[in-house]
Copies of this chain bind each other. A is one copy, B any other.
Amino acid sequence: MQPSGPVQESAPSSRRSKITPERAQELYTAVLDLLREGGYESLTMEGVASRTRCGKSTLYRQWGSKPELVVAALRCTRTPTLTHIDTGTLSGDLHEAVRAIDAASNRDTALMHALSHAALHNPGLLCALREALIAPSIAAIDAMVERAVARGEVAADNPATPFVAAQLLGVMRARPLLEGRYGETGFLTRFIECAVLPALLTPVPPPGS
């Protein structure tokens, strides 16, 4: 099927393109930095061109429009923050996840806040934002819970298991707004210990029972 509208070059590998994958990655990094600094509405193709010393016409030829450029930048920035975590216990995994998200927080949370309003008005952007920043974290946390079920730490029919990812990600992403009261060190650790794990862990039967 021919795309409607003006014909655009679809990939950095097209013949007229001078953009190497390394150069594309530089541009994407600049786009995400500009988003974190100024938000989505303030981002302009001019601003990207000037930050990256790239011709505006090259940007338009390669990516077509600002939303498409942002979506491409998001798709190339999937950071596997949580996928490597496997400590052997659910408690260990969740604490490690909290530390990892906290460490990536300035970067990822700023980006999420920069894009969330625009994403609610732009389905393609919402989809790219979910796939870049949200879906991988949900999948990694679900995998932690599944391993805990497989080890017998959590009952397979425990009704709280589907909510762990939403609980963790919701609270962590909302933190900059809640902060003051919830910003102090240790909040997330105590949150895991006091609010998340108690609904999940199967009580250990007393010895000899």
Contact = CB atoms under 8 A, between A and B. Distances in A.
A182 interface: yes
Assembly stoichiometry (copies): 2
Given A110-B120, A181-B138, A173 B170 contact: yes
A120 B170 contact: no
Given A39-B40, A120-B110, A174-B173, A195 B160 contact: yes
Interface residues of A, number: 47
A129 B119 CA distance: 20
A interface: dominant SS: helix
Given A39-B39, A199-B198, A199-B199, A174 B178 contact: no
A108 to B, nearest CB: 12
Interface stretch (A21-29, A57-65, A148-156, A186-194): A186-194
Given A39-B40, A41-B42, A177-B130, A166 B182 contact: yes
A114 B116 CA distance: 8
